[in-house]
Copies of this chain bind each other. A is one copy, B any other.
Amino acid sequence: MAKISGPTETARCIQSLIAVFQKYAGKDGYNCNLSKTEFLSFMNTELAAFTKNQKDPGVLDRMKKLDVSSDGQLDFPKFLNLIGGLAVACHDSFLKAVPSQKWT
C-alpha cells in the first residue's frame, strides 16, 4: 500500500523561500521583483540578526552590490543568490567548527 507523506524538508525550504520573496516583493503590487524599499524591509526583518553578526566582509559586500543593482530591482534568482551566499558562509563556519573526517 502506498505511503502518503508530507513534503520533504527540501520541498518545504523551496516553498518557504518563494513565500518569503512573495511576502516582500508583493508589497508594492508588483510581485516579480523586490524594489529597494522592499529589499531593505526584507533585510531589516528577516536577516537583521544575521547581518549584525556577520563577520565575512565578502557576504556584506555581496549584499551591498545587490542592493544597488543597476535597475534598483532584485528578482527571485538574485534573491536566491543572496540567500545562497549567506548559507555558504554559515556552512563554512559549521565545517570549521565540526571538521570533516574522511575514511580512507
Contacts and interface: CB of A to CB of B under 8 A. Distances in A.
Given A16-B9, A46-B8, A49-B11, A84 B91 contact: no
Nearest to A95: B32
Contacts of A19: 9
A103 B29 CA distance: 6
Nearest to A87: B14
Interface of A is mostly: helix
Q: How many copies altogether?
A: 2
Contact of A84 (B31, B49, B84, B100): B84
Interface of A: 7-22, 28-32, 45-47, 49-50, 76-77, 80-81, 83-84, 86-88, 90-91, 94-95, 98, 100-103
Contacts of A11: 46-47, 49-50
B84 A88 contact: no
